[in-house]
Amino acid sequence: MKGLRLLRWSGSVLSLRTRPCCFIHKYQYQYPAQPLGLLRLQSSAAAPLRTVSEPEDDKEPRDSTDYTLLPSPPPSRPPSSARLSALHARLVLPTRLPLEILARCLVDPSADTNSNFNNASLSLLGSDLLGYYTSEAIICRYPRLPTEVMKAAMAAYCGPKTLAAITREWGVEVAAAPGREVDPGFLQCIRQEAGNASVNGTGTQVKELQTAADGVSTRPDAESPTRGWRRGASSKTLYGDRFGDEIQRTETDYAERPELRKEEAQRKAKRGVTLEQASTGFVGALMGAMYIHAGKKAARNFFKAHVLSRHLDVSKLFEFRQPTRDLSKLCAREGFESPVARIESETGRKSRTPVFVVGVFAGKDKLGEGSGSSLDEARFRAAVGALKGWYLYSPLEVRVPSEATGGRPWEPVLVDGGEVVV
Amino acid sequence: MPVTALRATSTAQNGVGAFILQCKRLDFHYCDKWGSSRGMNTFLRSPLIASFAKAHPQIVIHISPRPNAHPIIRGSYINGREKVICVRNLEKEQILQKVELLRDANGEKVKRVKGGRVVGSVNEGVRGVWDPFHTKEYRGIG
Amino acid sequence: MSISLPLRSLSNLPFLLPSLSSLVSYVSRRNESSARRTTKRLRTKPDASFTSSISPSQVNDHIVFNPPSSAPSPYHTPPVFLPVNDPRRTLLAQSHQHANSYDQPDRHLPPLVHKHKPYEKKYHLRQTEIDEIRRLRSEDPYKWTRAKLAEKFECSQFFVGMVAEAPSEKKAAEQRKLEETQEKWGRRRRYAREDRGKRRELWGKDL
């Protein structure tokens, strides 16, 4: 991967942004004037929600020095925030990444719609980096992993749930409501209001989330009644995000199907995010900021220390339906003899609690082994073990492409023929 | 579809990659009038607190008065819990010990680890979990 | 099944023998089980597989090989599954202990789970016969079932299902028949069937 030339980047990402006076004046009109008593100073207490819309016109400002109505903390605040400096030190971020940028990473687009002050651009870059580093780590380590399992492993390392957990474990707290007077060390976002939906069977209340899957899909066969059945691995690769989930709509989709725009506008009018979405944006933004300010190597090390070091048992992610059939297909494809199940040991065949240990053999080579309380179960489990043995092959020395800058040239890693297709 | 995947989340192993100090914030409360705060007041004026703060930039330190009460130190932790230690009538060196205790704690409730030499791990041992059907004697029957 | 005798001699396990303290009067008897004493008693000689047959002078330059008595881990790729250029392939081939023991002439493979010979595909049916299968099936799907057709044409039932699917009304009728049977089931049988299905799902998840 060719390194980006940082110095050639436009100033919008690298330099600290200051709000020009005219910008403040615009906001004077869009927010209703508040009595001073309602203003919160240095606190994270809840404030009444305000709706933000882009100003219609440029009128003359009433008072050019009033910063109180900004949607997020101004860039002059971060150096004085103990919480922010503590977060900077806790994550051992390099000094090349200034506090102001860390503060910007903590501003979600739902809190501040101005893209010069929120983390949207940084999180776009950072989430791509996260996806790239995770996928290369998984693919190079387990080159034979099936696509579905690979995507599940990706989601386990850098999916929204995991990133929300990482944010929590970093000790980042969420502001009750964003605003200029809130400590910049808080994650600033407007939380989605809780709904009345409840999980089936339990009394747990959950938020009514509008997912892409609920709305009109971007997939070409969206109207097909058997849509749920068509979500195969290749469909997920083509139409899904990096975890195989359905993606949010893009401008291209709107150009093709203008009726989607109205629905999207209704969703945006609510303008709230869940904690998961805000955390995903924050971790991605910090990753992007590391890449831009501290360089590729530091970003990689940061990723290794905080994401890749987490524990995941990949062998627990598989679910087989017909492993015996898959295994015989696999043996036929790879040119082994067709697999045969053989009883290695057994106990209590005629008792209430028998145990059979069955091995799957291709000729004289043992492929896998499983035990169960019936011959069928043991055979099934042995086939599962053999398939896992195949899919979880890991080369001895793994060097991922992103590590191959300078020095020793990169040697290609094993590329497998792919999973068994029946 | 031959194989489908189960969704999971990776679990944190603090210290395997990065180490995150679990103590987030220390609040020092003192009283100007009460004698029990004498040691605390000397501690807060001594270079001890400054050097501690400098050595631990990841901990937010707040100092505030708590009139007509004993001095306390309150530690806030990443897991959302708090730990409070009353330092009445303690000398500044003793207070520093308490501060270090709060710094090293992880905020969990103090639990007795039964069994003495219990070691927990998420990884399976290199020799696997013992299984009666794979012992040498048993192998012979097959 | 035969009852196996303990491998170690009784002299190695003194705590199995009647204790001397039982001879002492009841009053003066001390509590025998303390953690220290139990640990001390359990500190027995290691199993023979751990000790070497090599003389003590050579003890430092050899490796004790004692394979684990545990089910194989899915992370251990079987030697046949290793790619050709993987260094583990040659290393395992050189290793005496890890070599495939079934390769030796005096070692027989374990017995088969299914005694019958594996089904061999014959590929003997031509287009005319396939057309005949389809004709029969559409003529009277209730008489010409999969099993009957498979028997007549000497092919597998799966193949019959593949080339000549049953008409939808027959499928619906079969489904109705199944549901009628299931309606007669009581609570216990229904639950037992459900549980069996759930357990089967766990096989595939390897839980």
Is it the case that residue A10 has pLDDT exceeding 50? no
Please, which chains are in contact with C (at least 3 CB pairs closer than 8 A)? A, B
- Domain edges within chain B: 23-104
**C73 with B128: Cβ contact below 8 A:** yes
Q: How many CB pairs under 8 A join A and C?
A: 91
Q: Can you tell me the ipTM of this complex?
A: 0.91
Closest CA to B87 of B70, B101, B100, B104: B70
Comparing B134 with C173, the larger pLDDT belongs to C173
Give the CA-trace dihedral at C120, C122, C123, C124, to 10 degrees.
-160
User: Is the Cβ of C110 closer than 8 Å to some Cβ of chain B?
Assistant: yes
Residue B29 tokens read as 């409360």
Is it the case that residue A9 has pLDDT exceeding 90? no
> In angstroms, what separates the C-alpha of A187 from chain C's closest C-alpha?
38
**B17 with A308: Cβ contact below 8 A:** yes
* Amino acid code (one letter) for B29: H
Per DSSP, A273 falls in state B
Q: What are residue B73's DSSP bridge partners?
A: B28, B85
Closest CA to A368 of A359, A378, A377: A359
List chain A residues with CB under 8 Å of B139.
345
pLDDT of A46: 42
List chain B residues with CB under 8 Å of C65.
none
User: Is the Cβ of B117 closer than 8 Å to some Cβ of chain C?
Assistant: no
> In angstroms, what separates the C-alpha of C186 from chain B's closest C-alpha?
33
pLDDT of A284: 96
Please, which chains are in contact with B (at least 3 CB pairs closer than 8 A)? A, C
**A171 with B9: Cβ contact below 8 A:** no
**A344 with C110: Cβ contact below 8 A:** yes
pLDDT of B125: 82
The tens digit of pLDDT for each residue in A328-368 reads 999 999 999 999 999 998 999 999 999 999 999 998 899 99
User: Is the Cβ of A141 closer than 8 Å to some Cβ of chain B?
Assistant: no
Predicted confidence band at B140 (pLDDT cuts at 50, 70, 90)? very low
**B131 with C49: Cβ contact below 8 A:** no
- When mean pLDDT is compared across B20-34, B38-52, C20-34, C143-157, the lowest value belongs to C20-34
> In angstroms, what separates the C-alpha of B35 from chain A's closest C-alpha?
31
pLDDT of A357: 94
User: Is the Cβ of A149 closer than 8 Å to some Cβ of chain B?
Assistant: yes
Among chain C residues, the shortest Cα distance to A369 is held by C72
**B9 with A149: Cβ contact below 8 A:** no
Predicted confidence band at A251 (pLDDT cuts at 50, 70, 90)? low
Among chain B residues, the shortest Cα distance to A345 is held by B142
Is it the case that residue C161 has pLDDT exceeding 80? yes
> In angstroms, what separates the C-alpha of C114 from chain A's closest C-alpha?
8
Collect all residues from A whose CB is shorter than 8 A from any CB in C: 315-316, 318-321, 323, 336, 338, 340-344, 347, 358-359, 361-362, 364-369, 371-372, 375, 377-381, 384-386, 388-390, 392-396, 414
pLDDT of A126: 96
List chain C residues with CB under 8 Å of A148.
none
> In angstroms, what separates the C-alpha of C95 from chain A's closest C-alpha?
16
Those residues whose C-beta lies under 8 Å from the C-beta of residue A373, and which sit 6 or more positions away, are A353, A354, A355, A356
> In angstroms, what separates the C-alpha of A189 from chain C's closest C-alpha?
39
Q: Which of A44, A81, A84, A90 best tests the B interface by mutation, with the highest count of B CBs <10 A?
A: A90
pLDDT of A25: 40
Is it the case that residue A44 has pLDDT exceeding 50? no
List chain B residues with CB under 8 Å of A310.
10-13, 17
Task: Give me the half-sphere count of Cα atoms (radius 13 Å) on the Cβ side of residue A303.
Answer: 30
pLDDT of A331: 94
pLDDT of A1: 45
| For residues A307-321, average pLDDT | 95
Residue A85 tokens read as 């400096």
Closest CA to A365 of A335, A387, A337, A327: A337
pLDDT of A74: 87
> In angstroms, what separates the C-alpha of B119 from chain C's closest C-alpha?
19
| For residues A89-94, average pLDDT | 96
| Complete edge-to-edge strand list for the sheet that includes strand B82-86 | B60-65, B23-30, B72-77, B82-86
> In angstroms, what separates the C-alpha of B104 from chain A's closest C-alpha?
14
Q: What are residue B141's DSSP bridge partners?
A: none
Residue A343 host element (H or E): strand A340-347
- Domain edges within chain A: 6-190+274-314, 194-271, 320-391
What CA–CA distances, in Å, run from B92 to A77, B45, B56, C94, C180?
34, 10, 18, 67, 83
Those residues whose C-beta lies under 8 Å from the C-beta of residue C26, and which sit 6 or more positions away, are none
**A317 with B6: Cβ contact below 8 A:** yes
User: Is the Cβ of C4 closer than 8 Å to some Cβ of chain B?
Assistant: yes
For the ranges A250-264, A382-396, C83-97, the maximum mean pLDDT occurs at A382-396
Q: Residue A412: is it exposed, middle or buried by C-beta count within 10 angstroms (0-12/13-18/19+)?
A: exposed
In chain A, what percentage of residues exceed pLDDT 70? 69
* Predicted TM-score (pTM) of this structure: 0.79
Q: Which of B4, B7, B10 best tests the A interface by mutation, with the highest count of A CBs <10 A?
A: B10
Which of B2, B18, B141 lies closest to A326 in CB terms?
A: B2
Mean pLDDT score across all residues of chain A: 79
| For residues B40-49, average pLDDT | 96
**B127 with C73: Cβ contact below 8 A:** no
Mean pLDDT score across all residues of chain C: 79
CATH class of the B23-104 domain in this structure: alpha beta
The CATH number that domain A6-190+274-314 falls under is: 1.10.1520.10
Collect all residues from B whose CB is shorter than 8 A from any CB in A: 1-14, 16-18, 20-21, 24-25, 57-61, 78, 122-123, 131, 133-134, 138-139, 141-142
For β-strands A355-362 and A365-372, DSSP reports them as antiparallel
Collect all residues from C whose CB is shorter than 8 A from any CB in A: 1, 71-72, 74-83, 86-88, 100, 102-103, 109-114, 118, 203-206
* Sole residue written with tokens 């899909």: A217
For residues A43 and A41, what is the distance between their CA atoms, to the nearest angstrom? 5
CB A219 within 8 A of CB A77: no
Comparing B89 with A13, the larger pLDDT belongs to B89
Per DSSP, C69 falls in state S
For residues B135 and A101, what is the distance between their CA atoms, to the nearest angstrom? 60
Residue A119 tokens read as 């983390």
For residues A399 and A393, what is the distance between their CA atoms, to the nearest angstrom? 16
List chain A residues with CB under 8 Å of B14.
169
Comparing A20 with C57, the larger pLDDT belongs to C57
Q: What is the DSSP string of A96-145?
A: TS-HHHHHHHTB-TTT---TTTSSHHHHHHHHHHHHHHHHHHHHHHSTT-
Q: What are residue B27's DSSP bridge partners?
A: B62, B74
**C74 with A369: Cβ contact below 8 A:** no
The CATH number that domain A320-391 falls under is: 3.30.160.20
Predicted confidence band at A210 (pLDDT cuts at 50, 70, 90)? low
The tens digit of pLDDT for each residue in A406-420 reads 777 778 887 787 788
The tens digit of pLDDT for each residue in C41-82 reads 888 777 666 665 656 666 666 666 677 788 888 998 998 999
Comparing A255 with B99, the larger pLDDT belongs to B99
The tens digit of pLDDT for each residue in A175-203 reads 998 888 899 999 999 888 766 666 555 66
| For residues C137-166, average pLDDT | 90
**C204 with A384: Cβ contact below 8 A:** yes
Predicted confidence band at A248 (pLDDT cuts at 50, 70, 90)? low
Which of B6, B129, B136 lies closest to C70 in CB terms?
A: B129
Residue A222 tokens read as 């969206």
Is it the case that residue A58 has pLDDT exceeding 50? no
CB A172 within 8 A of CB B20: no
Task: Give me the half-sphere count of Cα atoms (radius 13 Å) on the Cβ side of residue A39.
Answer: 15
Neighbours of A38 (CB within 10 A): 8
Q: Chain centroid to CA C36: how far?
A: 41
Q: Residue A251: is it exposed, middle or buried by C-beta count within 10 angstroms (0-12/13-18/19+)?
A: exposed
List chain B residues with CB under 8 Å of C70.
127-131, 134
